[in-house]
Amino acid sequence: MASETPIEDTMRAKVGLVLYAPEIFKLLTTQITEAFKPTTLEIYNDSELHSHHHAMAGNSSKETHFRVVITSDAFESKRQPARHRMVYTLLKEEMAKEGGIHALQLRTKTPEEEETLEEREAKEKGEPAGSASVEAA
């Protein structure tokens, strides 16, 4: 199955999307991609981990709890609460719908924040940073 955009390759790699994507997953992917033009989008369906909760009793939906990582220039100069409000506003209808999204865990970053985080993680692991250059002595 050929990808139409690089973001699809990322989603397949991170989420394991092959040929089948449930309805709410597709909706999340489409709406977030159109609204924020993310450079990274990771969507994890954690619904199975929460199906035993009292609030989920009688709910037959397999798409209620999601963990979403979004890296986008749209978050530039905004603090985390404002970024999260942007996403919640976008998904307001799906979150209000019976059998829709019950819980959404968000991690929102700018491309610069993502790069800084990756460099810090590489440094902690003792790996050379991807964009660092080494000068000859």
Q: Over 90: is that where the pLDDT of 108 sits?
A: yes
Please count the CA atoms within 13 angstroms of the CA of 79 that sit on its side-chain side: 1
Residue-level pLDDT at 6: 52
Q: Over 80: is that where the pLDDT of 47 sits?
A: no
Average of per-residue pLDDT across 101-117: 92
Which carries the bigger pLDDT value, residue 49 or residue 9? 49
Per-residue pLDDT tens for 116-128? 999 999 989 887 6
Q: Over 60: is that where the pLDDT of 7 sits?
A: no
Residue-level pLDDT at 48: 66
pLDDT band at 53 (very low <50, low <70, confident <90, very high): very low
Give just the sign of the alpha carbon dihedral 122, 68, 52, 63: negative
Q: How far apart are CA 93 and CA 114, in angstroms?
A: 29
Q: How far apart are CA 42 and CA 108, in angstroms?
A: 11
pLDDT band at 77 (very low <50, low <70, confident <90, very high): very high
Could you tell me if 68 and 106 are in contact, meaning their C-beta atoms sit under 8 angstroms apart? Answer: yes
Q: Over 50: is that where the pLDDT of 60 sits?
A: no
Average of per-residue pLDDT across 22-31: 86
Longest dimension (CA), the chain: 68
Q: How far apart are CA 121 and CA 115, in angstroms?
A: 10
Question: 67 exposed, middle or buried (CB, 10 Å; 0-12, 13-18, 19+)?
Answer: middle
Q: Over 80: is that where the pLDDT of 131 sits?
A: no
Q: Over 80: is that where the pLDDT of 88 sits?
A: yes
Average of per-residue pLDDT across 70-83: 97
**Mean pLDDT across the chain:** 76
